[in-house]
Amino acid sequence: MEGRGSAVNTTASRPVTRRSKSYGRSCVEAPSYFWQTPGHLTVLKIPTSRGAARSQLITNKVDPEHIALLVKNEWKLSYVTPLHHFRHTQLKSYSKHLAAFIAAEKQQGVAVEVGLEVGFKVTFTAVLGLAETDEDAETVFIQIQSKPVFAAAADAPKVVWRGWLTCVNGDPEYLRSLPPDFVSLPLFCTSGPESLTTLVKSWFERAFDCNFGSLALNSTTLNWLAALWTGCHSTCNIRYLKLAWSLPSQPPLDVSYTVNPQDAWELWNSIHPEESTDDKIDIKEVQSFINGLETHFFRHFKIYLSAGTLVKVSTALGSAHLDGKLKIGNSDYITTLLTLLTESALLKMPT
């Protein structure tokens, strides 16, 4: 059907260079890590196995005051593309700029000088020690306090918003592939009014040419969390394993399923024995753990949970919701949790 040139001399083997002046990087060749996994294309390969959750005294590494800030709130999760020209040495100046920006946005049409504290006080803090690898950038915590104009001198400023940007065990290959003027802190957790979140996001977008998107977790991530947290029960009492399903029936059926922690652990231990030499947990083991729980439920209630969606997992160690809400219950397991969430955030990066 076709006659084609065979490579018989230099003309045919001369390399042809794909002109790529206006491409950041190609998405079909290294170093872009463009993977096709069933259903979607992502920057990274989705791992099928990971290490078991290990407890570590995080307060040995990180300032306990900082850790306390992360533990007590419920966080709404977002992903953010790499920050351009973000410098951990400039946090003070960022505080001033963000405060002025918020003040200007709050009173539309009135210009605000950068550096004057009017109405809002913003504090950027580096949470040192949370990073696990050399490629991870240090976590940045942001706090917004409001200072009402007519407040009495003795009134302490009220914290109205908190948020932090983090990267724990981020894919080293991806992080290394970024030029040095980028800082990747892909996971953004916020707590406070949505209007302030929007303002903070839009300030970041203008200042560091980055973009935010909401980070919904998928059932696979929740499955992983359920298994990883249950596995911790032998070293730290998880008190309960609460799972919530949503079933697409008419009307929709919400199922809340609380499992005795010891029972859950025994089920998990039968699938992945604690004393097993292999430290790695495979996705198949996680899947059979969840299947085991679902089968048990079916035996009692004749409802196939697998027909629905797992929407929430919670234990004393923390809770995570499908729509991207997170609570951290115990700081000693924070690394495992943040590793998993960093990975989810990196998977959202546009290629």
Applying CB under 8 A, does 36 fall inside the site for other proteins? yes
Interface stretch with other proteins, choices 4-12, 54-62, 185-193, 305-313 (CB under 8 A): 4-12
Distances, alpha carbon 137 to alpha carbons 6, 98, 131, 340, in Å:
51, 21, 6, 16
- Tell me which residue of 75, 210, 185 sits closest to 130, measured CA to CA: 185
Distances, alpha carbon 173 to alpha carbons 125, 169, 347, in Å:
27, 11, 13
Cβ contacts of residue 168 below 8 Å, gap of 6+?
A: 130, 131, 132, 136, 139, 187, 335, 338, 339, 342
Interface stretch with other proteins, choices 30-38, 70-78, 304-312, 328-336 (CB under 8 A): 30-38
d(CA 228, CA 241): 11
Distances, alpha carbon 152 to alpha carbons 149, 156, 161, in Å:
9, 9, 21
When binding is defined by CB under 8 A, the residue of 124, 182, 224, 268 that contacts other proteins is 182
Applying CB under 8 A, does 15 fall inside the site for other proteins? yes
Cβ-based nearer residue to other proteins, 70 or 83: 83
CB 46 within 8 A of CB 275: no
> Smallest distance, Å, CB 157 to other proteins?
20
Interface stretch with other proteins, choices 32-40, 247-255, 278-286, 323-331 (CB under 8 A): 32-40
Q: Which of residues 186-245 bind other proteins (CB under 8 A)?
A: 205-207, 209-211, 213
When binding is defined by CB under 8 A, the residue of 48, 49, 90, 270 that contacts other proteins is 90
Applying CB under 8 A, does 252 fall inside the site for other proteins? no
Cβ-based nearer residue to other proteins, 246 or 291: 246
> Smallest distance, Å, CB 46 to other proteins?
15
Applying CB under 8 A, does 121 fall inside the site for other proteins? no
Applying CB under 8 A, does 45 fall inside the site for other proteins? no
Applying CB under 8 A, does 151 fall inside the site for other proteins? no
Q: Which of residues 292-351 bind other proteins (CB under 8 A)?
A: 348-351
Q: Which amino acid belongs to residue 248? A: P
> Smallest distance, Å, CB 7 to other proteins?
5
Cβ-based nearer residue to other proteins, 83 or 317: 83
Q: Which amino acid belongs to residue 64? A: P
Q: At 262, list the tokens.
A: 């010891």
Size of the site for other proteins (CB under 8 A): 68
When binding is defined by CB under 8 A, the residue of 52, 69, 91, 112 that contacts other proteins is 112
d(CA 349, CA 104): 31
- Tell me which residue of 340, 337, 343 sits closest to 44, measured CA to CA: 343
Interface stretch with other proteins, choices 65-73, 97-105, 119-127, 229-237 (CB under 8 A): 97-105
Interface stretch with other proteins, choices 13-21, 156-164, 246-254, 293-301 (CB under 8 A): 13-21
When binding is defined by CB under 8 A, the residue of 24, 51, 64, 273 that contacts other proteins is 24
Listing DSSP states for 250-296 in one string gives SS-EEEEEEE-HHHHHHHHHHHS-TT-S--EEEHHHHHHHHHHHHHH
Cβ contacts of residue 222 below 8 Å, gap of 6+?
A: 310, 311, 312, 313, 320, 322
Applying CB under 8 A, does 84 fall inside the site for other proteins? yes
Largest CA distance in the chain: 88
Residues of the shown chain interacting with other proteins in the complex, contacts defined by CB under 8 A? 1-9, 11-29, 31-32, 34, 36, 40-41, 81-82, 84-85, 90, 93, 97, 100-101, 103-105, 108-114, 178-179, 181-182, 205-207, 209-211, 213, 348-351
